[in-house]
């Protein structure tokens, strides 16, 4: 174990993808603008869609609230796979064989499309073909893996059942999908992004969209009052910034997951791995400075709920040390994903009544292929009026056997946290060490307080500006997180992600608390 091991593990989390690439510096939108298509969000969906549609002659504007490819796409494990744990047997049972086939074909096509674009543009992005494994250490999952192999194979996927895997882990059984892949998502997408600006197309960063006005031509309204007039609008912002009648906050739920970038003495055997059972554990290797990082992920939980978030990194470290001799952990980070009630993303028209507004959300942690699929679906819908995969992803669908049960479960969970956050006792202890945050009650008012490394106290109203849920402190990311719909804020109250459009109010009581 190196001398930097523990020191690195306590640093502020940073994704390897961001640390290993330069930050972009596209301009903000400062004037009104008219284009053919406005795309809200600069992740894999927005950039791939913009690239493909510009190739077809459309004038595009990407509007990104922060910097492109710094959100969920910049915090991924970057597996390019149609193997989304145990999904195909369930899809066939719940939605029928045809829709299961659509989902399989869409994701297999997405893998090929990413490979095609990399070859076409000669992109150096650490792309490599890999096999993807789902393994189990429990007898009860063996039959499920066998069923999944049979269904996946019937849908055209190269799937097989195994009794061993290349990792030094004792297992009960596993399935393998061949011809899957992995890459560096920012190296890939930043290269595609370079071809978007010009000839009437644009990328605007630090340009937050707060509303969309429908019509034959839509008006996309930004936080600084500018507007973009567009014939079509694609909402690819991970969480829909404009919901209209879609009520997406009741139809998707947020979860956070954690990732370690580990250096080990052992050589990683190749392949991409994930467990069938809970707690989920995901492993794959990444080229890093003429050596490799082993990416170990898992520990998902509902945003703003559960134990001290710092413990999730520790559990992943403990898991890594069971398999490898760890030399260093130079990177760690977390990510947020949204999941639809039936665990299939919503991709297509925002609602049945919005023919020129489109949405992509609810990727359920599989955004590299589903995000690319979304771009292909949008291209087909705009060019041809239909897509061969539109039925399975249709945002207006309803899957009774899955959606109804999860809809009730998740929205009861929201109601529980909406109410409990208002009535739980708040400690009046005002002692807050540097680098820590807590909820306090100095004057009968619930206040979120964080003391930075300089000793300065930052105090905010902890009522989420989306729907009024009470925020919880995230010790690992130094943020205030909403347990209802996943909005997140910095300790200074600025928006990070989620449905909330407004920042938190500041509380001016620093003098009192520093006495």
For residue 457, how many C-alpha atoms fall within 13 Å in the half-sphere facing its CB? 20
Instruction: Give the pLDDT confidence score for residue 506 in this predicted structure.
Output: 85
Residue 486 has pLDDT above 90, yes or no: no
CA angle at residue 73 from 267 to 256, to 5 degrees? 85
pLDDT in tens, 212-246: 999 889 999 999 999 999 999 999 998 876 655 55
Look at phi and psi of residue 376 and say left if phi exceeds 0, alpha if psi is from -120 to 50, else beta.
alpha
Residue 147 has pLDDT above 50, yes or no: yes
Angle in degrees, 0-180, between the axes of helices 97-121 and 185-193, rounded to the nearest 10: 70
pLDDT in tens, 90-132: 999 999 999 999 999 999 999 999 999 999 999 999 999 999 9
Please give the helix or strand (H or E) that residue 237 lies within, else none: none
Instruction: Give the pLDDT confidence score for residue 423 in this predicted structure.
Output: 45
| Lowest mean per-residue pLDDT among 220-229, 387-396, 454-463, 494-503 | 494-503
pLDDT in tens, 347-389: 999 998 899 999 999 999 999 999 999 999 999 999 999 999 9
Instruction: Give the pLDDT confidence score for residue 145 in this predicted structure.
Output: 98
Please give the helix or strand (H or E) that residue 48 lies within, else none: helix 44-55
Residue 24 has pLDDT above 80, yes or no: yes
| pLDDT > 70 fraction of the chain, expressed in percent and rounded | 88
CA-based R_g, the chain, Å:
23
Q: Which two tokens stand for residue 487?
A: 């909005």
Domains of the chain: 436-513 (2.102.10.10)
Q: CB–CB of 136/82 below 8 Å?
A: no
First vs last C-alpha separation in the chain: 43
């Amino acid at each position: 174990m190196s001398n930097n091991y523990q020191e690195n593990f306590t640093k502020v989390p940073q994704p390897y993808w961001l640390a290993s690439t330069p930050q972009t510096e596209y301009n903000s939108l400062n004037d009104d603008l008219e284009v053919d298509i406005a795309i809200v969000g600069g992740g894999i969906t927005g950039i791939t869609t913009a690239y493909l549609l510009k190739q077809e002659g459309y004038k595009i504007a990407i509007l990104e609230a922060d910097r492109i490819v710094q959100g969920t796409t910049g915090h991924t494990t970057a597996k390019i796979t149609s193997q989304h744990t145990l999904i195909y047997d369930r899809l066939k049972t719940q939605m029928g064989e045809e829709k299961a086939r659509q989902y399989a074909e869409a994701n297999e096509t997405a893998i090929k499309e990413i490979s095609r674009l990399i070859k076409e543009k000669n992109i150096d992005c650490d792309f490599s073909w890999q096999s993807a494994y789902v393994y189990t250490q429990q007898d009860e999952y063996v039959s499920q893996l066998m069923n999944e192999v049979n269904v996946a194979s019937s849908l055209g996927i190269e799937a097989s059942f195994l009794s061993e895997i290349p990792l030094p882990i004792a297992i009960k059984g596993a399935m393998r999908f061949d011809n899957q892949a992995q890459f560096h998502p920012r190296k890939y997408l930043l290269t595609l992004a370079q071809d978007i600006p010009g000839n009437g197309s644009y990328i605007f960063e630090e340009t937050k969209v707060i509303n969309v006005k429908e019509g034959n031509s839509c008006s996309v309204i930004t936080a600084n009052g500018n507007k973009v007039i567009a014939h079509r609008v694609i909402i690819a912002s991970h969480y829909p910034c404009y919901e209209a009648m879609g009520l997406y906050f009741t139809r998707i739920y947020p979860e956070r997951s954690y990732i370690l970038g580990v250096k080990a003495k052992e050589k990683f055997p190749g392949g991409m791995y994930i467990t069938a059972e809970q707690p989920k554990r995901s492993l794959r290797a990444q080229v890093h400075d003429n050596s490799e990082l082993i990416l170990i992920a898992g520990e998902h939980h509902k945003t703003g709920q559960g134990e001290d978030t710092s413990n999730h990194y520790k559990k992943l470290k403990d898991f890594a040390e069971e398999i490898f001799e760890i030399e260093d952990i130079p990177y760690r980070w977390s990510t947020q994903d949204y999941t639809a009630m039936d665990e299939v993303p919503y991709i297509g028209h925002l609602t049945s009544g919005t023919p020129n507004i489109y949405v992509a959300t609810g990727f359920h942690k599989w955004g590299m292929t589903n995000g690319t699929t979304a771009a292909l679906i949008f291209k087909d819908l705009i060019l041809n009026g239909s897509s061969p995969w539109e039925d399975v992803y249709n945002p207006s669908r309803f899957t009774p056997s899955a959606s109804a049960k999860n809809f009730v479960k998740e929205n009861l969970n929201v109601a529980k946290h909406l109410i409990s956050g208002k009535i739980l006792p708040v400690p009046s202890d005002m002692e807050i060490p540097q680098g820590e945050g807590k909820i306090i009650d100095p004057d009968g008012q619930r206040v979120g307080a964080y003391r930075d490394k300089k000793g300065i106290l930052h105090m905010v109203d902890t009522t989420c500006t989306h729907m009024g849920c009470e925020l919880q402190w995230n010790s690992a990311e130094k943020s205030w997180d909403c347990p209802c719909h996943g909005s997140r804020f910095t300790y200074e109250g600025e928006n990070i992600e989620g449905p909330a459009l407004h920042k938190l109010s500041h509380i001016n009581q620093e003098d009192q608390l520093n006495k």
